[in-house]
Amino acid sequence: MGEETLKKILLTGGAVLTILFAMLPFTYMVATGLSTGADFLQQGQDYGFTLSNFATILFAESSHFVRYMLNSIVISGIAAVISVFCAALGAYALTRFQVPGGAVLMLIVLAISMFPPVSLVSYLFKFMTWLGWINTYQALILPYVAWTLPLSLWILVSYFKQVPLELDKAGLIDGASRLQILVKIILPVAAPGVFSTALLAFIFAFNEFLFALMLTTDFTARTIPVGIALFQGIHGQIPWGEIMAAATVTTIPVVVLTLIFQRRIISGLTRGAVKE
């Protein structure tokens, strides 16, 4: 057996193992959601294919699942857009102007993102109570923006650095203002970075649990992770089938978003801007 063949086998084997490892929980989740009994893996249990779990979470009034979903998408979406826009302003300044202590600033921003959220949550609760924002969208959007901003800033700075400064100069000569240059030139040119940053911020906010648990009280603003976690109490026993069905449906927005943006996240969009 040649070295090349061995390499190929190892590579394929490794890939298959990685995919199996990554997909197993997901597969189990989908399978459980489609089964009548959650313990179908035990001996003597039938699988019993059914769609009733999905029907329950989607159509039963009491589950509020659709509402959770809507809350999650709106909150995460708005948080991601605001976060990316603020980060873009910051990244533009940090890469284009000689900001005194710019590097230190970046490190401080990074340090802030290291704060464990649990250490902030009690204060945040008091703060939101004082504002009267408990159980509203903005109560979650604000901390999510703050929470994703460091990440967005760091990613965008690295993308903006790759956009040649000559484009800014050309824009200035052509009579554009700095904001016009950012919106009309830099953001479109750095589009792959902007979209991947937005996607990351969205997923970050979409998956967040602790703040959502503490700052919401019912379905008016509750997001999916909390919603799913609190499913249990309703029927007295843990409704694994419905939880797994809900979890499956939850993955859809993220997957769809990734698929849509994937075409945008290809690199090479700066091709033709300048001659390297």
Partner 1 sequence: MKIILENLRKHFEGAHGGVDAVKNLNLTVEDGEFFIFLGPSGCGKSTLLNLVAGLEKPTHGRILFGDETVAAPKERIFVPPRDRNVAMVFQNYALYPHMKVFDNIAFPLRVAKIDRDQIEESVRRTAAMLGIENLLNRKPGELSGGQRQRVAISRALVRQPRMFLLDEPLSNLDAQLRTSTRTELKELQNEMGITTLYVTHDQTEAMTLGDRVALLRDGELVQVGEPEALYHSPVSPFAATFIGSPPMNLLEGRKQGAGTIEMEGMEFNLPEKQAEAAADIDRDAVLVGIRPEKIQVFLNPPEGMGEPVEAAGRRLILRGELTSAEPLGREVLYHVALESGEVLALGDDMGAKRGDSIWLSFSAEDIHLFDAESMDRKTREQMQSGLSKENRKKLRRQSETVA
Indicate whether 191 belongs to the interface with partner 1 (CB under 8 A): yes
Provide, rounded to whole angstroms, the least separation between the CB of residue 247 and partner 1. Answer: 38
One character per residue 128-167, x = contact with partner 1 (rule: CB under 8 A): ------------------------------------x-xx
DSSP track, 172-220: HHTT--HHHIIIIIIHHHTHHHHHHHHHHHHHHHHH--HHHHHH--STT
Q: Which two tokens stand for residue 262?
A: 């994937």
DSSP 135: T
Kindly tell me which of 2 and 272 has the beta carbon lying closer to partner 1.
272
Over the window 7 to 46, marking each residue x when it contacts partner 1 by CB under 8 A and - when it does not, the resulting string is: ----------------------------------------
Both tokens assigned to 261: 């943006």
Site for partner 1 contains 269 (CB under 8 A): yes
Decide if residue 274 touches partner 1 (CB under 8 A).
yes
**Residues 157 and 191 sit within 8 Å (Cβ to Cβ):** no
C-alpha closest to that of 159 among 124, 186, 181: 186
- C-alpha 197 chain-centroid distance: 9
Neighbours of 246 (CB within 10 A): 25
**Is 165 or 229 the residue whose CB approaches partner 1 more closely?**
165
Can you name the residues that pair with 49 across neighbouring β-strands?
35
Residues 160-179 that bind partner 1 (CB under 8 A): 164, 166-167, 169-170, 172-177
Smaller CB separation from partner 1, 185 or 205: 185
- Which CB sits closer to partner 1, 75 or 163? 163
Q: Interface with partner 1 by CB under 8 A: which range of 18-26, 126-134, 136-144, 265-273?
A: 265-273
Give min distance, CB of 234 to partner 1, in A. 51
Report how far apart, in Å, the C-alpha atoms of 239 and of each of 63, 66, 108, 189 are. Answer: 12, 17, 45, 48
Please give the residue ranges that form the binding site for partner 1 (CB under 8 A): 164, 166-167, 169-170, 172-177, 180, 185, 188-189, 191, 269-276
